């Protein structure tokens, strides 16, 4: 976005008119760095603007390596992350948000295609850390701990790596070859993973294994139950069991008419899975309205497209063989569901309960200093350490929103604080830059460039197979999408300030070094700040 240098009178520094501009200025320009809203929003702490900068130049490996400094799973996250970063993207107020998630997936897939690997640590610390759980949180922690030079052993109770990404996310959303490849890449760094190795008591395990610290990342694998009066002939299952059985040799037998009880993303996943297994009817029963449903709206929309039905404002009162008694509900003034006393009967071959999950905390038996409330372990929110020294926890085990991105962020955060603790140090929170709001952006420099929509599998194949529904971007589309980034609040060396300055006061420092203001020549006119596309120049009072 470079501009032609205009004619300007240049003063000889030795001239009697030089070095006199300070008395003319009431304000002076200062280059600033502001925090992009996408970066601020990301639960995994990615430097989104940073890796998009490399992607838009076509240097995909550098972009991937920049991204994976914070998050080792771009191909996974490009499929399962709910990309809240895009909801705050400033570009969304201009035309539509940058497709951050789709570019992330492109980089992840490109890395898998080209076989890019993580570098092993250059120096070994001599410390040994135990990680319990090979899901997104545990493997994120293992990755970051290994990068910091520690020996890492991951103990996983299940038969495969991936945790709830494998046993809770269907294959049509997350192909298993992608999941396996990004897990294996962490193993290739030298992380040891023991499968089928359930930890009994964590303190005994730490002592017997000679571990210097431990990180607990046990997923929420225990399905919550609800009391529903049922006859012996009623077939009632839980969502976790149904989705987990999809990883076995034989798919679950759900029948032709399947009812799912719940309103979260897991309920949606089970209903869509039932359709793919041949159910002619897959009905979700949810006690409130669509607006109150915790499932993400785009997943609800995809389920409706595939023929899943939803009975809103309904609850299940009784199961009698193949018949379910459904009571109509109504919302009160506070938005809470209240019974109406009106009933109907719904035929079903099976009922699947998708009412949430809990964590198995049996490994914490006998551990001193722990505080457990509502089935989760309380931790120091800054360090992720529990009340027991040297024992850290994250993901589903601690109070937080339960999704893959949050889990990955917890793993990274805990790893850095475990490293500091092992070295006898403590990490203090770094000061954050001010947020780069839309008001800082000079939008007249940007023409409309609508977001690239990712392709989807045709509907007929979506309901008859477990092929991946959401497609990826081509290289041309990914490059276009990356270039839609506005670089909110941070100089990207477009040369506008250099081009518009009437006094030759802007000095170019060279590629990657940005600019400097020569205050001997600057009159404080503010033209550079007014013409900065990304709001990286601020006028401050002259002192």
Does pLDDT of 273 surpass 90?
yes
Residue 468 maps to a domain = yes
Residue 15 maps to a domain = no
239 and 311 part of one domain:
yes
Residue 379 maps to a domain = yes
Q: Is 415 helix (H, G, I), strand (E, B) or coil?
A: helix
Q: Which of 24-33, 258-267, 269-278 has the lowest mean pLDDT?
A: 24-33
The predicted structure's pLDDT at residue 335: 86
Q: CA angle, 512 as apex, 506 and 516 as ends, to 5°? A: 20
CATH of residue 451: 1.10.1060.10
The predicted structure's pLDDT at residue 22: 60
Burial class (CB in 10 A: 0-12, 13-18, 19+), 75: buried
Residue 2 pLDDT grade (very low, low, confident, very high; cuts 50, 70, 90): very low
Residue 177 structure tokens: 């070859």
Does pLDDT of 287 surpass 50?
yes
Last residue of a domain, one of 422, 437, 461: 422
The predicted structure's pLDDT at residue 422: 98
Per-residue pLDDT reduced to its tens digit, 20-69:
566 678 899 999 999 999 999 999 999 999 999 999 999 999 999 999 99
What's the predicted TM-score (pTM) here?
0.91
d(CA 508, CA 493): 9
Per-residue pLDDT reduced to its tens digit, 198-217:
999 999 999 999 999 999 99
Question: Which residues have a Cβ under 8 Å from the Cβ of 350 and sit 6 or more positions away?
Answer: 235, 236, 237, 254, 255, 257, 258, 259
26 and 83 part of one domain:
no
The predicted structure's pLDDT at residue 8: 37
The predicted structure's pLDDT at residue 437: 93
Does pLDDT of 365 surpass 50?
yes
The predicted structure's pLDDT at residue 16: 39
d(CA 378, CA 385): 9
236 and 346 part of one domain:
yes
61 and 148 part of one domain:
no
CATH of residue 506: 3.30.70.20
377 and 401 part of one domain:
yes
The predicted structure's pLDDT at residue 21: 63
Residue 67 structure tokens: 């991204």
Question: Do the beta carbons of residue 130 and residue 212 sit within 8 Å?
Answer: no
Q: Which of 79-93, 220-234, 378-392, 455-469 has the lowest mean pLDDT?
A: 220-234
Report DSSP state, residue 444: G
Per-residue pLDDT reduced to its tens digit, 88-118:
999 999 999 999 999 999 999 999 999 999 9
248 and 343 part of one domain:
yes
Last residue of a domain, one of 356, 377, 395: 356
The predicted structure's pLDDT at residue 20: 55
155 and 204 part of one domain:
yes
CATH of residue 297: 3.50.50.60
- Residue closest to 82 by CA, chosen among 296, 395, 262: 296
Mean pLDDT of the chain: 92
Residue 432 structure tokens: 């954050």
Q: Which of 148-152, 289-293, 503-507 ranks highest by mean pLDDT? A: 148-152
d(CA 433, CA 39): 11
Distances in whole angstroms, Cα of residue 30 to Cα of each of 518, 539, 542: 11, 6, 11
The predicted structure's pLDDT at residue 449: 84
Q: Which of 13-22, 155-164, 460-469, 526-535 has the lowest mean pLDDT?
A: 13-22
Question: Do the beta carbons of residue 408 and residue 137 sit within 8 Å?
Answer: yes
537 and 500 part of one domain:
yes
Q: What is the 3-state secondary structure (H, E, C) of 6-37?
A: CCCCCCCCCCCCCCCHHHHCCEEEEECCCECH
200 and 249 part of one domain:
no
Residue 100 maps to a domain = yes
The predicted structure's pLDDT at residue 225: 85
Report DSSP state, residue 35: B
Per-residue pLDDT reduced to its tens digit, 461-490:
998 899 999 999 999 999 999 999 999 999
Q: How, if at all, do strands 357-358 and 222-223 pair? A: antiparallel
**More confident site: 44 or 16:** 44
230 and 351 part of one domain:
yes
Instruction: Tally the C-alpha atoms within 13 A of residue 516's C-alpha that lie toward its C-beta.
Output: 9
274 and 314 part of one domain:
yes
| Number of independent structural domains in the chain | 4
d(CA 99, CA 519): 40
Q: How, if at all, do strands 151-156 and 337-347 pair? A: unpaired
230 and 350 part of one domain:
yes
Residue 92 maps to a domain = yes
Buried b (16+ CB within 10 A) or exposed e, 403-425: bbbbbbbbbbbbbbbbbebbeee
Residue 521 maps to a domain = yes
Does pLDDT of 373 surpass 90?
yes
Residue 299 maps to a domain = yes
Per-residue pLDDT reduced to its tens digit, 419-475:
999 999 999 888 899 999 999 898 887 778 888 889 999 998 998 899 999 999 999
**More confident site: 252 or 175:** 175
Find the domain containing 150 and state its range.
128-168+178-222+358-422
**Phi then psi dihedrals of residue 149, to 5 deg:** 95, 5
Ramachandran category for residue 366: left, alpha or beta (phi over 0 → left; psi -120 to 50 → alpha) = left
Does pLDDT of 4 surpass 60?
no
Residue 376 maps to a domain = yes
């Amino acid at each position: 976005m470079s501009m032609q240098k205009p004619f300007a009178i240049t003063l000889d520094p030795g001239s009697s008119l030089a070095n006199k501009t300070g008395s003319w200025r009431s304000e002076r320009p200062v280059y600033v760095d502001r925090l992009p809203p996408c970066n601020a929003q990301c639960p995994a702490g990615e430097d989104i603007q940073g890796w998009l900068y490399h992607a838009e130049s076509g240097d995909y490996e550098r972009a991937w390596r920049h991204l994976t400094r914070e998050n080792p799973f771009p191909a996974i996250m490009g499929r399962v992350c709910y990309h809240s970063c895009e909801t705050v993207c400033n570009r969304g107020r201009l035309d539509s948000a940058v497709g951050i998630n789709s570019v992330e997936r492109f980089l992840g897939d490109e890395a898998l295609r080209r076989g890019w690997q993580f570098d092993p640590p250059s120096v070994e610390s001599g410390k040994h850390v135990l990680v319990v759980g090979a899901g997104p949180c545990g493997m994120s922690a293992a990755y970051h701990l290994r990068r910091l030079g520690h020996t890492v052993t991951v103990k996983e109770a299940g038969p495969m790596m991936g945790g709830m990404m494998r046993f809770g996310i269907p294959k049509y959303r997350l192909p298993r070859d992608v999941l396996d490849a990004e897990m294996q890449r962490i193993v290739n760094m030298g992380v040891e993973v023991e499968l089928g190795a359930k930890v009994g008591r964590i303190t005994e395990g730490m002592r017997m294994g000679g571990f210097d610290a431990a990180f607990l990342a046990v997923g929420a694998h225990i399905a919550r139950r609800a009391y529903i009066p049922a006859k012996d002939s009623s077939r009632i299952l839980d969502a976790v069991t149904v989705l987990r059985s999809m990883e076995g040799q034989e798919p679950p037998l759900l029948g032709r008419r399947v009812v799912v009880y719940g309103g979260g993303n897991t309920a949606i996943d089970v209903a869509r899975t039932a359709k793919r297994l041949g159910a002619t009817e897959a009905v979700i029963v949810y006690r409130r309205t669509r607006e109150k449903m915790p499932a993400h709206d785009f997943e609800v929309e995809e389920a409706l497209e595939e023929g899943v039905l939803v009975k809103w404002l309904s609850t299940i009162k009784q199961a009698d063989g193949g018949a379910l008694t459904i009571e109509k509900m109504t919302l009160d003034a506070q938005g809470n569901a209240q019974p109406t006393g009106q009933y109907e009967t719904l035929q079903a071959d099976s009922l699947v309960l998708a009412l949430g999950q809990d964590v198995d905390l049996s490994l914490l038996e006998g551990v001193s200093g722990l505080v457990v409330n509502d089935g989760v372990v309380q931790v120091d929110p800054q360090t992720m350490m529990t009340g027991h020294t040297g024992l850290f926890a994250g993901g589903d085990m601690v109070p937080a929103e339960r999704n893959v991105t949050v889990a990955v962020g917890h793993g990274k955060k805990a790893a850095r604080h475990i490293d500091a603790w092992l070295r006898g140090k403590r990490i203090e929170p770094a000061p954050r830059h001010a947020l780069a709001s839309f008001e800082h952006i000079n939008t007249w420099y940007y023409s409309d460039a609508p977001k690239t929509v990712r392709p989807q599998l045709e509907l007929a194949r979506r309901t008859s197979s477990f092929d991946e529904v959401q497609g990826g971007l081509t290289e041309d589309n990914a490059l276009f999408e990356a270039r839609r980034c506005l670089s909110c609040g941070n100089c990207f060396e477009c040369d506008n300030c250099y081009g518009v300055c009437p006094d030759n006061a802007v000095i170019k420092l060279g590629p990657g070094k940005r600019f400097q203001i020569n205050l001997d020549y600057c009159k404080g006119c503010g033209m550079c700040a007014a013409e900065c596309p990304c709001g990286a120049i601020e006028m401050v009072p002259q002192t």
